Structures are given as structure tokens and as C-alpha cells.
Amino acid sequence: TQLLEQSPQFLSIQEGENLTVYCNSSSVFSSLQWYRQEPGEGPVLLVTVVTGGEVKKLKRLTFQFGDARKDSSLHITAAQPGDTGLYLCAGARGDDKIIFGKGTRLHILP
């Protein structure tokens, strides 16, 4: 059972465009994290959100946790080639069991 669905699976856009990727579930999570993975490396944490409705900004990246804590979105403004990578969301349940989505593979064309 895939508890965390990420969409789209693949996204290729031009430099300078805006984009949003999504992480959805029918389950409630106590917290949710976003990681970015570049080729040949392990994932690196971008942000952790814990409160329903929470919005966090990291430069051109805006993360939102849904009010019901079942979903999250990542919005990138004015995408740059350095944003290219695999974006993974990971949700933690009350028992601290962590579940990863399959990721969105983002490619920014210069």
C-alpha cells in the first residue's frame, strides 16, 4: 500500500518558471519532511513541517502542510538548473514510523 502519493512523477520545465509538486495521503501524519536527492548522493533534508496549515519558506521554495495534516505541497518560484533533482516527501505517524513517497523527479532546462 502506497500511503504517500507524490505528483507529478516527472516534471521538466524551463528555467525561470514556477512549479508546484504535491504529496498526498489518506492518512494523518504527525509531521512531514521534504528531502532533495541529487544523482549519486543520498537525500538531504529541506524542511520539516509539524502543524496543520503551516507554511515554511526556504529562499525560492515554499512548503505547506495541509490543515488536516494529510497532504503537503512544495512550490518553487523562478526555478533554476540547480533545483534539478528527486524531491521526496516523508511522513511520520504517531508511532514515529516514517514513510517515504516515491518522489517527483524535477528537471530544470537552462
Residue in 18, 27, 45, 52 binding other proteins, rule: CB under 8 A: 45
Between 16 and 86, CB nearer to other proteins: 86
Residue 44 binds to other proteins (criterion: CB under 8 A): yes
- We find the least distance from the C-beta atom of residue 7 to other proteins, in angstroms, to be 13
- We find the least distance from the C-beta atom of residue 19 to other proteins, in angstroms, to be 19
Stretch that binds other proteins, among 26-34, 54-62, 64-72, 73-81 (CB under 8 A): 26-34
* Strand 85-92 to 98-100 pairing: antiparallel
- CA distances in angstroms from 66 to 52, 54, 70, listed in the order given: 5, 7, 6
Cβ distance 54 to 64 under 8 Å?
A: yes
Residue 30 binds to other proteins (criterion: CB under 8 A): yes
Distance CA 110, CA 42 (A): 24
- We find the least distance from the C-beta atom of residue 23 to other proteins, in angstroms, to be 11
Distance CA 21, CA 4 (A): 13
Q: Build a one-symbol-per-residue string for 77-106: x at contacts with other proteins by CB under 8 A, - elsewhere.
A: ---------x-x-xxxx--xxxxxxxx-x-
Those residues with Cβ within 8 angstroms of residue 99's Cβ, 6 or more apart along the chain or in another chain? 3, 4, 90, 91, 92, 93
